[in-house]
Amino acid sequence: MGIRRGHKARPLEAVAEKAILSVALSTIGVVLLIFLFVGREAFPIFFGHVNSAAISEIKPLPVAELDKMTPAQVQAYLGLSAAEYKSMERDTLVSLMEVRLEAAQEGTTDRDAGLNTVSWRYLLGSHQWSDYDHPVYVWQPVSKIHKYNLVPLIVGSLKTTFVALLFAVPLAIAAAIYVSQLARPRWKEWLKPAIEMLSAVPSVVLGAFALLVMATVLQLIFGYQYRLNAFLAGIALGLASIPVIFSLAEDALTSVPRSYSQAALALGASRWAAAWQIVVPAAIPGLFAAIILGFGRCIGETMVVLIASGNAAILSPSLFDPTRTLTATIAAELGETVVGGHHYRMLFVLGTLLFIVTFLINAAGDVVMHRLKRNLEGK
Least spacing, CB of residue 257 vs other proteins, in Å: 15
CB of 14 to other proteins, least distance (A): 10
CB of 181 to other proteins, least distance (A): 8
Whole-number minimum distance, CB 186 to other proteins, in Å? 13
| Under 8 Å between Cβ of 302 and 327 | yes
CB of 122 or CB of 348, closer to other proteins: 348
Rounded to the nearest whole angstrom, what is the least distance from the CB of residue 203 to other proteins in the complex?
7
Closest CA to 305 of 225, 226, 192, 229: 229
Which residue in 326, 183, 331 sits closest to 250, CA to CA?
183
Q: State the DSSP code for 59.
A: P
For Cα atoms 162, 234, 350, give the angle at the middle one, nearest 5 degrees.
Answer: 75
**Which spans in the chain are helix H?**
10-46, 71-78, 82-87, 90-107, 120-124, 151-177, 185-196, 203-209, 215-222, 230-254, 258-266, 271-274, 280-300, 303-308, 326-333, 342-377
Binders of other proteins: how many residues, by CB under 8 A? 103
- Which residues between 25 and 64 bind other proteins (CB under 8 A)? 25-28, 30-31, 33-34, 37-38, 40-41
Among 97, 136, 163, 175, binds other proteins (CB under 8 A): 175
Q: Which of residues 94-113 bind other proteins (CB under 8 A)?
A: none
Whole-number minimum distance, CB 255 to other proteins, in Å?
14
3-state SS, residue 194: helix
Q: How many residues does the chain have?
A: 379
| 334 part of the interface to other proteins, by CB under 8 A | yes
Nearer to other proteins, 145 or 237 (CB): 237
Q: Torsion angle, CA of 168/318/124/78, rounded to 10 degrees?
A: 90
Q: Which of residues 201-220 bind other proteins (CB under 8 A)?
A: 201-209, 211-213
Smaller CB separation from other proteins, 127 or 373: 373
List 158, 183, 312, 376, residue binding other proteins (CB under 8 A): 183
Q: Site residues for other proteins, window 4-23 (CB under 8 A)?
A: 5, 7, 9-10, 12-13, 16-17, 20-21, 23
Binding residue for other proteins (CB under 8 A) from 154, 279, 283, 299?
Answer: 299
The least distance separating other proteins from the CB of residue 347, rounded to whole angstroms, comes to: 7
Check if the beta carbon of residue 234 is closer than 8 Å to that of residue 163: yes
Q: Is 140 helix (H, G, I), strand (E, B) or coil?
A: strand
Answer yes or no whether residue 338 interacts with other proteins by CB under 8 A: no
Q: Which one among 73, 81, 87, 225 touches other proteins, defined by CB under 8 A?
A: 87
Distance CA 43, CA 21 (A): 32
82 binds other proteins (CB under 8 A): no
Contact with other proteins (CB under 8 A) among 3, 64, 83, 221? 3
What is the per-residue binding string for other proteins in 259-298, x denoting contact by CB under 8 A?
-----x--xxxxxxxxxxx---------------x--xx-
Angle of the 151-177 helix axis to the 280-300 helix axis, nearest 10: 140
Nearest CA-CA partner of 325 in 348, 299, 346: 299
Q: Is 43 exposed, middle or buried (0-12, 13-18, 19+ CB in 10 A)?
A: middle
Q: Which of 191, 312, 338, 376 binds other proteins (CB under 8 A)?
A: 191
Q: Which of 74, 113, 164, 172 binds other proteins (CB under 8 A)?
A: 172
Integer-rounded Cα radius of gyration of the chain? 27
Whichever of 15 and 142 has its CB closer to other proteins, that residue is: 15
